[in-house]
Amino acid sequence: MKDSTKRKIFRCCVIFSLTVAIILAAGWISDLKEQSEETVQMVSERTVIPGGQSVGIRMDVKGVLIVGLEEIETKKGVVSPGYDAGLQIGDMILSVNGIPVECAGDVERIVREKRNLLDLEVQRKKEILHISLNPVQCEQDGTYKLGIWVKERIAGIGTLSFYDPESGMYAALGHGIYESQTGTLLQAGKGKLLQTEVKSIREGEAGNPGEIRGIFCDDTRPLGNLKTNSQYGVYAEAENVFEVQKEPVVLASQEQVIEGPAVMLTTVYGSTVEQFDIRIDKVNRQKAAGSKGLEISVTDERLLEYCGGIVQGMSGSPIIQDNRLVGVVTHVFVNDPTRGYGIFAEFMVNEAESARNLKNSN
């Protein structure tokens, strides 16, 4: 065979080998890409059990939050030591005579023991103050008082958002519990998440939001122990687990949420969770958690006819789109009860994980 012919055959073999290698490499890269996509999908497919059941929240308030100042009748006349010393509604007493205090009882004990000039360390918004005052003896019962009212506990009704099997946490409300007069976010002390039965609903109208009226069913078997009251909801460590629907749903990222039809799970009578049609009107993408990531409107005629739309107590109702938990109802529009806001569900799941790691206050 001539050398030129041999060289041609050799070049053809080399080209063929390179072609096969390129094809195999392309297939290998394609397989890697598919495996990578499958891995990403598997990592992102976190599931939670959606709620929708009405729940009761009973919580002791951690901290000494002043919600009122009062006059005390003494032998020398009527005085208001707290007011005269410069205390204000909304102040949080952190310590008395250098002793940290976490509840009204702590303050009462120190006042009872000292009965003289006290130094109060007080937080007023972001400022730390030191205020001195003398307790006075009440003419009626002989006890020594500062002339302040302190928020000690709260109780109310909201809606369960979800149970997260991975963290073992319940989430509810979608927004925090605030002191009504001062707007202060209350710190959770001991508290329980309780099953509730809805008895009636006051219909909402423009300028006057309606509300759910219900009763706590069984406080001997609480759903969970409260861990935290954050600005993005109330979170409890599960004690008794129940499933509102048997099958969990996939948690959506905010990038997967789109404008269009969705459903809201909530309870309007008894303890039965029902599904109502809504529409996601606007998706506000957020880098940090916020309670107004979604704007929604009720389109279900049943819900509109029964209670006019969204009412107080429905905060926390899960929002499902394409069989994914995309968000949670947080607020109703004051002037339009057919519309409301929602928080992205992924933010609440992150908050639940953070709550799990907190030292249990119960």
Amino acid 49: pLDDT: 94
Q: What is the pLDDT of residues 261-299, one digit of tens each?
A: 999 999 999 999 999 999 999 999 999 988 899 999 999
If the chain, 362 residues long, is cut into consecutive pieces of 10 residues, what is the mean pLDDT of each piece?
A: 50 44 43 47 73 92 89 92 93 93 90 89 92 92 91 90 93 90 83 92 85 85 91 92 72 96 96 96 93 96 94 96 96 93 96 81 46
> Quick one: tokens of 197?
């039965």
Amino acid 206: pLDDT: 82
Catalytic residue, chosen from 54, 291, 315, 317, is 315
Among 323, 332, 328, which Cα is nearest to 348's?
328
Catalytic residue, chosen from 80, 106, 297, 300, is 300
Among 64, 313, 331, 359, which Cα is nearest to 186's?
64
On whether the CB atoms of residues 104 and 92 are closer than 8 A, the answer is no
Catalytic residue, chosen from 54, 60, 91, 175, is 175
| Beta-sheet pairing, 77-79 with 144-145 | unpaired
Amino acid residing at 148: I
Amino acid 12: pLDDT: 46
Q: pTM here?
A: 0.78
- Which own/partner pairs from 283-290 qualify as long-range (CB within 8 Å, at least 24 positions apart)? 283/254, 283/257, 283/258, 283/259, 285/254, 285/255, 286/254, 286/344, 286/347, 289/232, 289/343, 289/344, 289/347, 289/350, 289/351, 290/343, 290/347
Amino acid 186: pLDDT: 86
| Beta-sheet pairing, 224-230 with 211-216 | unpaired
Is 108 strand, coil or helix?
A: helix
Amino acid 40: pLDDT: 42
Half-sphere exposure for 247 (CA within 13 Å, toward CB): 4
**Helix H or strand E encompassing 145:** strand 144-145
Distance, in Å, from the CA atom of 330 to the CA atom of 348, rounded to the nearest integer, reads 12
291 noted as active-site residue: no
Beta bridge partners of 55: 158, 195
Distance, in Å, from the CA atom of 255 to the CA atom of 283, rounded to the nearest integer, reads 9
**Helix H or strand E encompassing 164:** strand 148-164
Amino acid residing at 281: D
336 noted as active-site residue: no
Amino acid 236: pLDDT: 95
331 noted as active-site residue: no
Amino acid 243: pLDDT: 53
On whether the CB atoms of residues 186 and 229 are closer than 8 A, the answer is yes
Q: What is the pLDDT of residues 92-105, one digit of tens each?
A: 999 999 999 988 88
